[in-house]
Amino acid sequence: MNADIAKAANALAEAARTGIACPPVRSLFADGDVTAAYAVQRVNVTAAVAGGRRITGRKIGLTNPAVQRQLGVDQPDFGALFADAEVGDRGVIAPGRLLQPKVEAEVALILDRDLPGTGHRPEDIRRAVRYVLPALEIVDSRIAGWDISFVDTVADNASAGLYVLGTPVLLGDLDLRAVAMSMSRNGQEVSTGLGANCLGDPLLAAAWLANTLAALGDPVRAGDVVLTGALGPVVNAVPGDQFTAEISGIGGVSVHFG
Ligand SMILES: C=C/C=C(\O)C(=O)O
């Protein structure tokens, strides 16, 4: 393995293990070297699986222009979701479990079939999806101060942290572009958005993921959870915060930071 890929992977893994964030890893690579960044991500995801963690699906990040502006990045990415990162609806996140948590509300999908091959369009994804769920993603950065470039966040498993899924409903003919999201922190609305804010359509975001992963030889599989990306701006979380999101036509989901 390239020494710089190993060095970046090790710095991020150590930050996750110790809870002490590390400096950005981008300086180890040529400007915008996305291939190297995904190689770093792969090293740590592979090590996690070898260590017994189970992948439950994927997250898509950076699909919303508002979030792209907040974080200073300009294209979507993806990361792995793990079974031990799922928190139950209305669950509690223990203090200290994350380094620098931020919360976003998203549309989650559960797939009914594998999606091998490229060229998937939103209508293909609709046929492959069984359930849609309201979700909160608690993103986190192993990089100090969220000082991230696109290379940093990709290397850091797309800044994945924890996720919370609400009750599944059948997707049917629901137009995900039109769903409206409202997220509150401690009873105050702090983020709003529409399905259309997620790359134009959460199903288009999922098609992007399916095509990208198939091209990499690791397609999305039946049963996978797909977090399609934030519908509105991300919001910082501190201990004591209660977050609730409602997505029209889909339902609600909440989590408490203990
Ligand atoms: C840094 C992470 C961003 C996302 O997860 C998102 O935009 O959905």
Per-residue pLDDT of the chain (258 residues; tens, 9 = 90+): 699 999 999 999 999 999 999 999 999 999 889 999 999 999 999 999 999 999 999 999 999 999 999 998 889 999 999 999 999 999 999 999 999 999 999 999 999 999 999 999 999 999 999 899 999 999 999 999 999 999 999 999 999 999 999 999 999 999 999 999 999 999 999 999 999 999 999 999 999 999 999 999 999 999 999 999 999 999 999 999 999 999 999 999 999 999
Tens-place pLDDT, residues 143-173? 999 999 999 999 999 999 999 999 999 999 9
Whose CA is closest to atom 5 on ligand 1?
61
Q: Which residues contact 187 (CB under 8 A, 6 or more apart)?
A: 242
Q: Is residue 111 part of a domain?
A: yes
* Ligand 1 binding pocket, CB closer than 6 Å: 59, 61-64, 67, 71, 104, 137, 139, 153, 159, 229-230
Q: Which residues contact 242 (CB under 8 A, 6 or more apart)?
A: 185, 186, 187, 254, 255, 256, 257
Ligand 1 atom nearest the C-alpha of 106 is 8
DSSP string, 160-200: --EEEE---EE-TT--TTS-EEEEEETTEEEEEEEGGGTTT
- Give me the interface pTM, i.e. the ipTM: 0.98
Q: Is residue 25 part of a domain?
A: no
The one-letter amino acid at 191: S
Question: What is the CATH number for 75?
Answer: 3.90.850.10
Q: Is residue 14 part of a domain?
A: no
Ligand 1 atom nearest the C-alpha of 73 is 1
Q: Does pTM surpass 0.95?
A: yes
The one-letter amino acid at 28: L
Domain of residue 74 covers 55-257
Q: Is residue 88 part of a domain?
A: yes
Q: Is residue 43 part of a domain?
A: no
Neighbours of 82 (CB within 10 A): 19
CA of 230 to the centre of ligand 1 (A): 6
Tens-place pLDDT, residues 79-119? 999 999 999 999 999 999 999 999 999 999 999 999 999 99
Q: Is residue 216 part of a domain?
A: yes
Q: Is residue 194 part of a domain?
A: yes
DSSP state, residue 27: G
Q: With 0-12 CB in 10 A as exposed, 13-18 as middle and 19+ as buried, what is 85?
A: buried
Number of domains in the chain: 1
Q: Is residue 3 part of a domain?
A: no
Helix, strand, coil percentages for the chain (3-state, nearest 5)? 30, 30, 35
